[in-house]
Amino acid sequence: MKIILFSRRQLDHTAEEIVQLFDAIARFGFDYAVNAEFAAFVREAAGIAVPDEKTYAEEVGPQPADAVMVCYGGDGTLLEGVHRLRGAAIPVMGINAGHLGFLTTAPSAGLDLIFGEIAAGNIATEPRTMIRVEGDFAEQPDSLVALNEFTIERHGAGMISVETYVDRQMVATYHGDGVIVSTPTGSTAYSLSAGGPVVAPTCACLVLSPLAPHNLTMRPVVIPDSSVITLHVHARRADAFVTLDNRTYPIETGAAFTVKRADRPIFLAVPHNISFYDTLRNKMMWGIDIRS
């Protein structure tokens, strides 16, 4: 079995944590590959030399059928790891070394338990909807899919307008800071901070959430994930940009985009006994009595 390890050097990993991580991989006899920038950091911080043949760059490339990607960090780390898979059907496990962590639910303190479960084949997976975006990017992305969301946003002080259609039926023109198209997985990310609903990650839907709308009656809308969303951008007095998860691209006024469910889902590995609802309660402190 092979571990495709992904992490980012800007995270606050200690030398002790890195040594524990690589010791656990070795103890269970996994083959492994590490993204090149993290491999360089591992050598600098912990003195562990990762052979060149065990590194990968911007794309993971072909891997054995039993490979598992392990993203060590926060949700942003997992999103970047998924991006490097380029749609490969490799399950993704997130080990939380960050903060909130709706995607990276496995605790970093239990590395032996996590890798033991992977070695024994006891990791369950959930298919998570991804979205595919096509349109007028000023700079063509290397990947057109996103796990969390696609956003159109203003840059600067001026308001933008986003004319929005679902299956060729007009929903609204969002005047304000922009709009978010979120997957169920992304409902607890940017969309949530914009007032969008919390959606169970296995629901077959997408969410449209306006960003700081000029018209205060504007509210998020939940639509079937079989829908095709079309967005036209008007930004006469402001610059605008779009994001695919944590990747940002400039656009010009008049740009148009089409968003729909991607052909393939990503398979997110979930630890036993940690449900989505457990994560909601623990991360958002639901049910905590703060009256005393």
For the domain bounded by 131-261, which CATH number is listed?
A: 2.60.200.30
Tokens of 185: 């997985």
How far is residue 75's CA from residue 83's CA, in Å, rounded to a whole number?
12
CATH class of segment(s) 2-128+265-284: alpha beta
Ramachandran category for residue 168: left, alpha or beta (phi over 0 → left; psi -120 to 50 → alpha): left
Q: For 122-140, how does the pLDDT look when each residue is reduced to its tens digit (9 = 90+)? A: 888 899 999 999 999 988 8
- Residue pair 106/94 in contact (Cβ under 8 Å)? The answer is yes
Q: For 160-175, how does the pLDDT look when each residue is reduced to its tens digit (9 = 90+)? A: 999 999 999 999 999 9
Q: Across the chain, what does the average pLDDT equal? A: 89
- 23, 52, 66, 75: the active-site residue: 75
- Residue pair 228/167 in contact (Cβ under 8 Å)? The answer is yes
pLDDT at 273: 62
User: Which class for 179: exposed (0-12), middle (13-18), buried (19 or more C-beta within 10 A)?
Assistant: buried
* Residue 283, SS3 per DSSP: helix
- Residue pair 32/118 in contact (Cβ under 8 Å)? The answer is no
List, in sequence order, every residue forming a beta bridge with 5; answer none if it has no partner: 34, 70
Q: Where are the domains of the chain?
A: 2-128+265-284, 131-261
Average pLDDT over residues 153-157: 89
The vertex-188 CA angle with 186 and 191, nearest 5°, equals: 70
List, in sequence order, every residue forming a beta bridge with 92; answer none if it has no partner: 69, 268
Q: For 65-123, how does the pLDDT look when each residue is reduced to its tens digit (9 = 90+)? A: 889 999 998 888 999 999 999 888 899 988 877 555 555 555 555 788 888 888 888 88
Strands 2-6 and 31-35: parallel
For CA atoms 21, 117, 145, 78, the dihedral sign is negative
Q: Is residue 75 annotated as part of the catalytic site, yes or no?
A: yes
pLDDT at 214: 92
